[in-house]
Structure 1
Amino acid sequence: MGVDPKFLLFGSIIAIFVAFAFFVWGFVPDDVEEDEIYGYRLTKRKRLIEEDASYAMVLPLVKVFAHYFRRLPDTAAWKISETRSVLRDKLMRSGFMGAFTANEFLGMCCVAAMCLFVVGLVFSFLMTNTPQIPVAFIGAGVGFSLPFMSLNSAMQQRLIDIDRRLPYTVDLLVLSMRAGLDFMTALDRVVTRGQIQNPDDPMVQELGVVLQEMRVGTARSDALINLCERVKSEYLNSMVGAILQSEKRGTPLANVLEIQVDTIRNKRTAKIEKAASQAAVKILFPLMFIFGAVVLVVLGAMILKIMAEGN
Structure 2
Amino acid sequence: MKPIKALGIATMLNEKVLDVFYFQISESDQNKNSITKLDEDAYSKLADLKDLKIAENKEIIEVNLAEDKKIEDVPTAFLKLHLISLKQFKPNELNLDNIFNVLETLAWTSKGPMMLNDAQKELLVSKANGSNFKINSVDKFPPLTDYIIPEKVRIADTARVRLGAYLGEGTTVMHAGFVNFNAGTEGPNMIEGRVSSKVFLSKGSDLGGGASTMGTLSGGNDQVVSIGENSLVGANSGVGISLGANCIVEAGLYLTAGSKVTLLDDENNELKTLKALELSGVSNMLFLRDSVSGKIIGKANNTNFSLNEILHVNN
Q: Shared topology, TM-score over 0.5?
A: no
Under a length normalisation based on structure 2, what TM-score does the superposition of the two structures give?
0.23
Q: Point out the structure with the larger strand share.
A: 2
User: Which protein has the bigger helix share?
Assistant: 1
Please say which structure displays the higher CA radius of gyration: 1
Bigger relative contact order, structure 1 or 2 (CA pairs below 8 A, ≥6 apart) = 1
